Amino acid sequence: MRRVASAAAVVLVLAAPGCGGSSRAGQRSLDAFLTRTTQGRMWAKRFPHRPGSKPCKALDPVAKQRVAATCSTDLALTAHDSVVVTFTQSWSNGSRARTWFVFLRRDGTLESVRREGATG
């Protein structure tokens, strides 16, 4: 959990100067990523295509089975002309989580991915 908090702090620092939250430019980048890339199409099956959340299933490494979860999507523009999309799965009443910080170029191509949280 501590690593998730530190990664979230990094994202906030990067995103703050470029603010804009879910602006049209950020949403266009997310749409392009979800429709034009293999990894994006995979995540599009599980996560909302707009900022928000929806019910889903997560693999709980402790229980070694799929459990009811919440999948959420958030996005922010950075000062470095890129978009940070945060995909999060949480379960066990929010006490367990797995988060991916996906850094995209404005055209929706992938720059990098950082994963934090529960393994499995």
- Each residue's pLDDT expressed in tens, for the chain with a length of 120 residues: 444 444 444 444 444 444 444 588 899 999 999 999 999 999 999 999 999 999 999 988 888 899 999 999 999 998 778 999 999 999 988 889 999 999 999 899 999 999 998 764
pTM here is: 0.78
The number of distinct structural domains making up the chain is: 1
From the list 75, 38, 72, the residue with the least C-alpha distance to 58 is 72
Structure tokens at 5: 């908090």
6, 16 Cβ separation under 8 angstroms: no
Q: Which domain holds residue 30?
A: 2-117
Cα–Cα distance for residue pair 27/109, rounded to 1 Å = 13
